[in-house]
Amino acid sequence: MTLQFISSPATVSRETGSELGGALLGEPPNGAIPAWPVQRIFAPLLGATSTVVHETWRIDGPIKAGHCEEIVWRKAGGLLFGVIELDEADFKGSPKCSSLQAASEEAYRRIFRLLDAEQVPHLWRVWNYLAEINLETQGLERYRQFNVGRQDAFLECHRGATGNVPAACAIGLVGGALSIAFMAGEAPAVPVENPRQVSAYNYPADYGPRSPTFSRAALAYLPGQELLFISGTASIVGHQTVHPGDVAGQCHEAMANVAAVLAEGNRQCRSGGFGLGELSYRVYVRQAGDFPLIRETLVSLIGQAEVVYLQADICRQDLLLEIEAMASHTLGSR
Ligand code: 3EB
């Protein structure tokens, strides 16, 4: 069984039957939407030759497809990919719990319910998108509201909120529903932390009433294959933002963090180790005007690696960019 990641600027290719899921980045397309679970990320692409990018996970072997409680999912072997989209307006908030917090908690509850039913209980990687992530309502920034709902669901569903938690990103878009894509497996992923940073699940209370529930990276395994997912990585050392207002400085620091977490992952991996130049990157840029400098800086650090740039908000007001990455290796049968 091999999982393959394909990124294409073209319109959706005809379904081959091997699609597990994917993402649609950029402008809302005029054309057909794929039939497989697809996370739509309506954020402007920067420096691209097309207005949309389609990313698809392909897998061989029989696929089971399902749709329940606003989750669209597909499963092959011991691997499941799903997307849930919830409209916050459908959730009644209260003075103590915003509708975003309620929607976030419910989304994760539904995800865990599905994973238990399908016997793929272990979350490997989660992609979280929400509108207006830095906006404060009811006295709390929306990212922090999301963190409360997410952590409460992890605890309620007996997952634990430290240590063995998935790699993730949490990104702000202009509008739209709460959208969460996830990949989960029969076997747990190996969480990887960054020695230069405090684990996010141990962040002090200055960053909100509940800490964010994610690991810095995850190594995950399919028969004959090792996958590395590096979480959204920013200019944070310890738990503090460094180089506020300095885009090039943040870019170098974020890449130093990517390199550090990569080295940590390579110490634990089963393949020969991953190189910075072979990763596939997604970079979120807060201010479109910073894009040329960010690209120039990144090219000097990672060469011609595959990078998709999106204009989107980062979960701390002072962060100007965030970098996530992934890669896959074939494992020899020894
Ligand atoms: C950070 O290191 C930057 O809340 O799931 C990066 C990746 C960040 C994931 C999340 C947040 C998340 O704290 C922000």
Cα–Cα distance measured from residue 174 to residue 311, given in angstroms and rounded to the nearest whole number: 10
> Relative to the CA of 212, which ligand 1 atom is closest?
4
Report the greatest alpha carbon distance in the chain. 58
Average pLDDT over residues 144-171: 97
35: Cα within 13 Å, side-chain hemisphere? 9
Residue 136 among the catalytic residues: no
DSSP structural state of residue 166: -
* DSSP-derived 3-state class of residue 92: coil
* Mean per-residue pLDDT over the chain, rounded: 96
State the pLDDT confidence band at 29, using cuts at 50, 70 and 90. confident
User: Which is more confidently placed, 50 or 188?
Assistant: 188
Ligand 1 pocket test, candidate residues 148, 169, 171, most atoms within 8 A of CB: 169
Regarding the beta carbon of 217 and ligand 1, being less than 6 Å apart is answered no
Q: DSSP E strands: which ranges in 77-121? A: 79-86
3-330 folds as 60s Ribosomal Protein L30; Chain: A; (3.30.1330)
pLDDT tens column, 51-96? 999 999 999 999 999 999 999 999 999 999 999 999 999 999 999 9
Cα–Cα distance measured from residue 17 to residue 7, given in angstroms and rounded to the nearest whole number: 17
Cα–Cα distance measured from residue 238 to residue 241, given in angstroms and rounded to the nearest whole number: 8
Average pLDDT over residues 34-60: 94
Sequence letter at residue 42:
F
Residue 273 structure tokens: 């180790």
Cα–Cα distance measured from residue 289 to residue 274, given in angstroms and rounded to the nearest whole number: 32
Average pLDDT over residues 285-294: 98
pLDDT of residue 27: 87
Cα–Cα distance measured from residue 163 to residue 215, given in angstroms and rounded to the nearest whole number: 7
- Centre of ligand 1 to C-alpha 145, Å, is 14
Cα–Cα distance measured from residue 83 to residue 204, given in angstroms and rounded to the nearest whole number: 30
pLDDT of residue 238: 98
State the pLDDT confidence band at 1, using cuts at 50, 70 and 90. confident
- Centre of ligand 1 to C-alpha 85, Å, is 20
Regarding the beta carbon of 169 and ligand 1, being less than 6 Å apart is answered yes
State the pLDDT confidence band at 333, using cuts at 50, 70 and 90. low
- Reported pTM: 0.98
Q: Distance of CA 314 to CAs 42, 206, 240, 280, 326, Å? A: 15, 17, 14, 20, 19
To which residue do tokens 């959730």 refer? 91
Evaluate the CA torsion angle 280, 257, 206, 152 in order and state its sign. Answer: positive
Query: Under a CB-based contact definition with an 8 Å cutoff, are residues 57 and 19 in contact?
Result: yes
